[in-house]
Structure 1
């Protein structure tokens, strides 16, 4: 199978690619799969840059120790044997003017000037939810992303829908879990703001009076072996003092 290999310390994984019958696609060749070697950032980048291809994420053992069940060699052999599960993950989109960003985890509108709060108005499905919120920002997360920045803001996670989180707002506004069909419009009352989608280098400035539209994306990331990538035993090696994830949670 022809693959695109991305990430860091690729010299560690290249000698093992044959275990899964992988060969890197050359110039003019079309890959069938993206293999990421790294951490969450490599996976987020691949989901953004290769929306048409499935992804097999493998953690870089130099920076993320792996438990015995998920050593790189074992994961590649399991993929070749057809034992690696493919999971579709809905993505999130954020649009302003003629720019649309897609993210596996979340899209956030932040205050551009860290010393000055952002003022914004929120509409959900065309109805006014908050006339003016003052804070650091607001963003929309996917189910997968609910264990990341969304969790650090809300101290919660969710299993269905999309999650709207308000960062350091002075008003009492509730974080919301909405249906996947919901459309959220954020109008900047005082800014400017900056729109950030995962770790994308594209970060458009949002000026006063402009509207950001947040919703579930029409893109779906297809991830092989996400349960291996998010293994609780591997995570415990990376973060010895961290609280364990809920039982059965593979995101």
Structure 2
């Protein structure tokens, strides 16, 4: 019996190229005898054929493997929805950068075929859980594979907050916000904010201040088991926002408490057997031309 038999497909349906790759992939999988499970939104843009249709958050119960066709954003969304299950994810890049979706559109049959035959690398990644409490009552929660970000929201105004790590006071900061990033997210927004690139195998979290008022405030790397508490300042001229991977946006009020820690469940990413993190950095970040 093959390791993967029920294959879920999630696609970036607003992209014509992604839809073309999805249809090509569906034909290939069905010709090879696999049962295809289409995500409900994806099924509105492709011919479902003999495929089953499922809500995204139910695919973890039906699938042995989920293939995401799109950009890193598409895979992030799938990761948040499926993190509670043990189903692994494989990405086909139809976006721009493609740090997480590392199979090219011209090698779908070759690389997907290798993975389905057992020739692949499995990589474990952790996510972050976030919750917001107001006067002791939880008002919002979310999870992130890349990062949780506190930022000014609609207006470019400096905000103030207190940061605690493992119950210890770190600082009161005035800045444009704070990025709390996993190693997966270290090549995303955190990198643009001046944070370090972290190898995906690291059990660490990086905190990157956004344009801090005190120029000596620099990124901090702490152990992955750390627990963070951010208290929104009482005198902010605007109400800061909290986002998870750029989604699940919450508007805070003075005195709100944002708590962040590692999610108990981990995500398994599947890569082709020749995957190399440093080669990905060289090609995606254009290191070879520097």
Bin of the TM-score, shorter chain as denominator length = 0.7 to 0.9
Please point out which of 3, 10, 29 is paired with 2:7: 3
Partner of 2:265 in structure 1?
A: 219
Partner of 2:148 in structure 1?
A: 107
Please point out which of 26, 33, 41 is paired with 1:14: 26
Matched, 1:179 2:219: no
Partner of 1:248 in structure 2?
A: none
State the distance in 2 between where 1:58 and 1:167 align. Answer: 32
**What's the TM-score once normalised by structure 2's chain length?**
0.73
Change (3 A) 1:7 1:230: farther
Change (3 A) 1:147 1:211: same
Larger RCO (CA under 8 A, 6+ residues apart): 1
Structure 1 window deviating more from structure 2 (120-129 vs 18-27): it is: 18-27
1:80-100, Cα deviation, whole Å (9 max, x unpaired): 220011111011222112322
Number of residue pairs matched by the alignment: 240
Matched, 1:83 2:119: yes
Partner of 1:249 in structure 2?
A: none
Please point out which of 239, 259, 273 is paired with 1:192: 239
**What's the TM-score once normalised by structure 1's chain length?**
0.83
Superposition CA RMSD, Å? 3.1
* 1:244 Cα deviation after fit: 4.7
Please give the secondary structure, in 2, of the residue aligned with 1:42.
Answer: helix
Please point out which of 184, 195, 202 is paired with 1:144: 184
Structure 1 segments (4+ residues) deviating >4 Å:
61-64, 66-70, 226-231
State the distance in 1 between where 2:281 and 2:27 align. Answer: 23
Please give the secondary structure, in 2, of the residue aligned with 1:75.
Answer: helix
Q: Note the residue ranges of structure 2 that are not aligned, 5 or more in a row.
A: 13-18, 38-51, 55-60
Structure 1 window deviating more from structure 2 (216-225 vs 17-26): it is: 17-26
Q: Note the residue ranges of structure 1 that are not aligned, 5 or more in a row.
A: 246-251
- Alignment check: 8 A CA contact 1:20 1:79 kept: no
